[in-house]
Amino acid sequence: MTNFKQRPAALTGSACLENVGTLYFVVHPKASRPLLGPFLSEADALHGVTVMRSAGAQVEARTALLDDVSRWHAQNNGAICWAFAQGVAHAR
Range of the domain at 39: 19-91
85 assigned to some structural domain: yes
Whether 1 is covered by a domain: the verdict is: no
Residue 89's pLDDT is what? 59
Asked whether residue 13 is assigned to any structural domain, the reply reads: no
Number of other CB atoms surrounding residue 67 within 10 Å: 11
Residue 9 confidence (pLDDT): 46
* pLDDT tens profile 41-65: 999 999 999 988 888 999 999 999 8
Q: Does residue 86 form part of some domain?
A: yes
pLDDT per position as a tens digit, 8-39: 544 444 455 567 899 999 999 999 999 999 99
What is the number of domains present in the chain?
1
**More confident of the two residues 33 and 87:** 33
Can you list the alpha helix ranges (DSSP code H) found in the chain?
A: 7-12, 42-52, 68-91
Residue at 65 is within a domain: yes
Q: Is position 12 within any domain?
A: no
Whole-number pLDDT of residue 18: 62
> Which position has the higher pLDDT, 13 or 67?
67
Residue 42 resides in a domain: yes
SS3 41: coil
- 76 in a structural domain: yes
